[in-house]
Amino acid sequence: MPAPRPSSEPRPAPDTASDVIRWAAFSCVLVPVVLVWYGTSLAGATGTPLGLAAVTAVCRVLLRRSERGARRCEAQRGGRHTRERTPVD
């Protein structure tokens, strides 16, 4: 079987923030079910997803902010490499 050819097109970066948010939303549903299954009160299990949702929202904001900062930093580095360097005597 021949080896796959490397494509000249760059791969898009995975959207890790969306993956984290998806797993967090899943846990907001799963955790209360597990808590009720193991005997926690319904009121306690109901409050848990609210706390998880708040933590998820804060994490999402911080992840998006971090991604924007990384893109901005990457753009600045790209501009820095285009300059010619002068030899030092």
User: Which pLDDT score is estimated for 9?
Assistant: 61
Locus of tokens 């907001």: 28
pLDDT band at 47 (very low <50, low <70, confident <90, very high): confident
* Residue 25 in this model has a pLDDT that exceeds 70: yes
Q: What is the rounded distance in angstroms from the CA atom of residue 77 to the CA atom of residue 55?
A: 33
pLDDT band at 11 (very low <50, low <70, confident <90, very high): low
* Residue 37 in this model has a pLDDT that exceeds 70: yes
User: Which pLDDT score is estimated for 38?
Assistant: 92
Neighbours of 58 (CB within 10 A): 10
Averaged over 75-89, what is the pLDDT? 61
Please state the φ and ψ torsions of residue 35, each to the nearest 5 degrees.
-60, -45
C-alpha distance from residue 65 to each of 8, 9, 28, 50, 61 (Å): 30, 27, 23, 23, 6
Q: What is the rounded distance in angstroms from the CA atom of residue 68 to the CA atom of residue 53?
A: 23
